[in-house]
Every structure is written in C-alpha cells, then in structure tokens.
Amino acid sequence: MSNSRNYIFGLSALLLASVSGPALAVTDEDLVKDHETPGDVLTYGLGYSGQRYSTLDAINKDNIKSLVPAWSFSFGGEKQRGQESQPLIEDGVMYVTGSYSRMWAIDTATGEELWQYDARLPEGILPCCDVVNRGAAIYGDKVYFGTLDAKLVALDKKTGKTVWRKTMADYKAGYSYTAAPLIVDGKVIVGNSGGEFGIVGAIAAYDAETGDEVWYRPVIEGHMGRMNGEESTMTGEKNASWPGDMWTWGGGATWLGGTYDPELGLAYFGTGNPAPWNSHLRPGDNLYTASTVAIDVETGEIKWHYQTTPHDGWDYDGVNELVNFEMEKDGQTIKAGAKADRNGFFYVLNRENGEFISGTPFVNEITWASGIDETGRPVYNEDNYPKDPTVVAESGLERDPVFAAPSFLGGKNWMPIAYSQNTSLFYVPSNEWGMDIWNEPITYKKGAAYLGAGFNIKPLNDDYIGALRAIDPTTGEIKFEVKNEAPLWSGVLTTAGGLVFYGTPEGYLQAIDDATGEILWKFNTGTGIVASPVTWEQDGEQWIAITAGWGGAVPLWGGDVAAIVKDFNQGGSVWAFKLPK
C-alpha cells in the first residue's frame, strides 16, 4: 500500500476513535480467561490451551441448517495466495491478517473496514511455503503480528498506526515469521520460520509495551541464550547429538506458535525439521529438532522436551501444537497435552514433565516406523531411511528413492486440531499420502535452500486424501472419520452445540455432528479454505467466521497431489455467519 493510502486509512481510523471513545485495554486476566468469555476471541486457539472449543450452543445440531452468511469482506488486490489466518474478536472489532503480511480491523456487525495495515516487505524475502500469516495477538491497546521479513509489529488497535516495529532476525539468511504470537504476562512470545534455509530455530520474548527483547532461547543445542540483552545459558550441550559444526545451521524452526499453561508457567512450542534433510550428514538425535519443548515464560529456559522423530530423515518436523486438556484415565485426572504429529502418530504427554503416555497412529499407512516403544521412542524401519547419496553414487545410480508414508507434508501439517469438552474427543484434520524421497549432496550457503533431498508426493487412495478424524485420547481409537477428496488444510472448531466446523480446499465451510461425523451443513465460499474458524457471541447472537483463500504448501510442494488441486481458485476474504432472526 502506498504512503498516501496508509495515511487515508489512518486518518479515517483516528476519526472513528474520536467518535467511539478510548479503546478498552485487554489485560492478562482477560487472556487467561479467554476460553470462558464467549463474547470475544482474544487468543489464537480460543484460549491458552489451544482446545478451540467454545461453550456457545445457540447454533446447534437442531438449527445449523438455517445458518446463513451475514457479510463477507474481501482482502482485495492481487495479493491473494494462501489465507491461513484465525481472526481475533474484541469489543465489536475483528482483527484478521492476510497474505503478504497485511492486517485489517473490521466491524463485526457490518463487515465494514475500519483500517488496513500493509507491511512494507523488501525484495528478496524467502518464505518456504507460501506468503501466509496465521494471525495476530492482542494486549492492552495494541495488536501484534509478525511479517515475512522477520519483523514483529505492534499497532494501535483503534487506528492501525505503527507503535513499534522490531527486527527479530535476518530475512536474507532465510528467516521469516508466519505464526500468531503468544502473549503472556506482558511478553510477546514468538518463534521463527525458515527451517529449509538452515536457520537456527528459536523462541523469544519481547516486552509488549516497548518491543525490547526480554529473553531469547535457541532450540538447537550448542547455541547461547540471552536474558535482558546478555548471554545467559547454552541450549543443551554442544555436540552431544550433533556432529562437528552441523549444529551451527541446524534448522528446528519454531514456526507454528505456542500454547500455555498459566498454573505451570510453561509455554509449549513445537520445533521443526533438522537441517539439512539429508540425515547422513548429521548422525545423532539432533536435539532439539522435531520436538515439543516446554519453556519457562519468565526465564526462557527449557524445562523439558519430548522428541517425536529423533534424527529426522523425512522432514516430519515436530512443530505441531500441543493442546492442553485434563484426561481422565484409570480413576485419575492427568494434566495432559495431545499432539497429532506430522510423522503420523497421535501423542499424549504429561504436560507437567513431558513424560510419554501414549503414541498411536492416526493415519492408515506409516512406513518409517513400526510403532512407538514404552519409552516413547519410535521403532524405526531401517530400510525406509532415505539412502546415503554417496553410497548410491558408488553403485552407479544417480538416485535411489525409497517410498515413505506419510509424505513430508505430514499426517497432519500446520492446521490446528480441536478438543471437545462435550465428547472428550480430539478432531484431527489428517491426510493420506506418501512420497518417493532421495537424498542429495548439499552444503550450507546463507540464504539458499538447504535440503539435500528430492521428493515426489503421491496420494495413497483413488477416492480421497483428507479425512477429519475423531480420536479418543485415552485409547487412541478413531471413533469416526469424514473423508475428503482433496487434502485437508484447515483448522478445526468445536462447540457446546455439538458441532465441529472445518473447511475444505473445495471451498466449503462445513459443520458435522461431533458424535457421528454426519455432515449437517456446508457453505461454499468460492475459494479453498485453509484457515481456522472461530465463534463468538454478539448482541445475543452466536456468530461463526472463517478466512477463505486457497494456497499454502500443497500447491507449491505437493508433487502429484499439486496436479490434482491445480484448478482450485485462489481468493482472499473473511466470511461471517449467523442464524436469521
């Protein structure tokens, strides 16, 4: 957006602010209680736990067929691509981000734009998997989000005017930012993106008022953390699970954001794939990649970790969200966390200490491991590791691929799961696909792709790729599934009305019965949905909203699957629905 257009939007927002009065300040207590206050959506995940469950039941199984659009807001222009943002709702205003690091404030009653912010992105940004943004955070009188050139921005929530803008990392080295920030006790806690460029994954906290760095914690062993601008402690032990200097550019991007337990003071972040993909260059477990780490929010120290794919050779990553819930099992209540990992296993952990409780498949075909042992470590199928390219070359072959399932896009990728307090089930958007994968020689070069692998993704079935699955976390049993022809890439929402909402690449927002999986309602937005729905109450009515716009990693990285979805139309909009009066 031009400077003049920014000025016009800022001026109109200032006039609006002068009419409507001062903005209400969002407090720490508001964030802690977000899951209890259906009149707003203040956090990514509808609460710190990330359950994406709403207590609202005005829209339910009996009346869902009457749900209709109330308004639709277009993001406009040619900057469409993937729209993966979860909206925030506060005091009658929706804050929603879009592709190319943009944000809008929208009147939730009318769909009218209040202000728009466009980040001034430089040439040469290096987003690996589309130019997406997954959402904002809100605190005090500001809204916060990250940009594709690895900046953290604080905006005045009434006007959209920039309050501060801080550089988190060097975008020329491959760093970027796509997640929604997590705000705890006045600190904006963020991860980073860029694992395919040999960056160093890290989690950092910034002062919400000033933007100053509070602490910084790399998640690759051997790197030093910081506290208040001074070196603090080393992450792990140098060379304990990384050879030579491979830890220097070890990957592990923390690109999905975190959940939080206020009672324990721990934030939970997933970490990404080790770099490079060619695992023969980095023997060892390669801590703390492909893991969940529990971070003390006051100090930035890692309190525990659990690694789902040690020595990851398939880009299975481990960044998937840990959803906090109370699990009743054997007469006990366990402070648990659940995670549907890209590697195809559904994990339940003790979120107090990271102890392994269970790990069960949630996809039909897993070739890389035969299961999870009693310690929580995978039992590898050694012949399914991608092969050492030097050995392959010595045999006279250019490449010798193996077939692995799931594909590196995962049994589940970024799209958030949801937990229902109605059914005590998790609802997981999963995909059935595999890949031919082979390793290649590679050396690190700043700002260049650092893979050392080639691949081609293939569907496993003729009639479907995606499946929304309901999983009992106490047993790992899949209670039902709803198949979808194209891959699922949308997050999930559950409600006390007995409904589960999610989107499809074919363009549908649909609601299913949380007990049976029966599709009760669907509406086509005109473009594929790869975002997460939300719900809130306003003026005595329940609303549902979803961002729509086809894109994300599938059309960019999907191989044979990308050809299947090549005719899906892009777009950029947010839709709001309610029952007619």
**pLDDT bracket for residue 11 (50, 70, 90):** very low
User: What type of residue sits at position 405?
Assistant: A
What local confidence, expressed as pLDDT, does residue 86 receive? 98
What is the number of other CB atoms lying within 10 angstroms of the CB of residue 130?
20
Does position 542 have pLDDT exceeding 90, yes or no? yes
- Nearest CA-CA partner of 415 in 528, 288, 287, 294: 528
Q: What is the pLDDT of residue 22?
A: 53
Say if residue 265's pLDDT is above 70. Answer: yes
By CB atoms closer than 10 A (0-12, 13-18, 19+), residue 462 is: exposed
Query: How far apart, in whole angstroms, are the C-alpha atoms of residue 438 and residue 554?
Result: 20
What pLDDT shows up at residue 15? 43
Q: Which domain holds residue 151?
A: 3-578
Report in angstroms the alpha-carbon separations of 179 from 328, 469, 529.
Answer: 31, 24, 17
Contact of 259 with 49, CB cutoff 8 Å: yes
CATH number of the domain bearing residue 273: 2.140.10.10
Collapse the DSSP code of 78 into the 3-class scheme (helix H, G, I; strand E, B; otherwise coil) and give the result.
coil
- What is the band of 303 on the pLDDT scale with cuts at 50, 70, 90? very high
C-alpha closest to that of 12 among 117, 110, 89: 117
Please state, as a whole number, how many other Cβ atoms lie within 10 Å of the Cβ of residue 580. 7
pLDDT score of 10: 44
pLDDT band at 558 (very low <50, low <70, confident <90, very high): confident
pLDDT at 80: 82
Tell me: pLDDT of 18 over 50: no
Lowest-pLDDT range of 6-10, 204-208, 344-348, 381-385 = 6-10
Higher-scoring residue by pLDDT: 565, 535: 535
Whether the predicted pLDDT of 14 surpasses 80: no
Residue with the bigger pLDDT between 9 and 511: it is 511
pLDDT in tens, 63-73: 999 999 999 99
Q: What is the predicted pLDDT for the residue at 569?
A: 87
pLDDT, residue 12, reads 44
Q: Within 384-487, where are the H helices?
A: 389-394
Distance CA 492, CA 476 (A): 19
Range 164-185 average pLDDT: 97
What would the pLDDT profile of 362-410 be if each residue is shown by its tens digit? Answer: 999 999 999 999 999 999 999 999 999 999 999 999 999 999 999 999 9
Q: Take residue 507 and report the two structure tokens written for it.
A: 């363009």
- Taking a C-beta distance cutoff of 8 angstroms, is the pair 547, 533 a contact? no
| pLDDT at res. 24 | 78
Query: Higher pLDDT residue, 145 or 77?
Result: 145
Q: What pLDDT is stored for residue 119 in this prediction?
A: 96
- Report the number of distinct structural domains present in the chain: 1
State the chain's mean pLDDT as an integer. Answer: 94
| Strands 345-350 and 102-107, bridge-based pairing | unpaired
Handedness of CA 158, 161, 164, 165 (dihedral sign): positive
pLDDT in tens, 38-60: 999 999 999 999 999 999 999 99
Which residues lie closer than 8 Å to 21 by C-beta, 6 or more apart?
Answer: none
* Annotated catalytic residue within 261, 315, 341, 514: 315
Give the pLDDT mean for 219-235.
97
Alpha-helix runs per DSSP H in 46-150: none
- The percent of residues above 70 in pLDDT, for the chain, comes to 96
pLDDT digits (tens, 9 = 90+) for 455-501: 999 999 999 999 999 999 999 999 999 999 999 999 999 999 999 99
What average pLDDT does range 189-198 have in this prediction? 96
Count CA atoms closer than 13 A to 487's CA, side-chain side: 35
**Residue 560 a catalytic site member:** no
- Using the predicted structure, report yes or no on whether residue 136 has a pLDDT greater than 50: yes
The torsion angles phi and psi of 4, rounded to 5 degrees, stand at -65, -40
Do you find a cis peptide bond into 22, omega within 30 degrees of 0? no
pLDDT, residue 241, reads 98
pLDDT at 23: 57
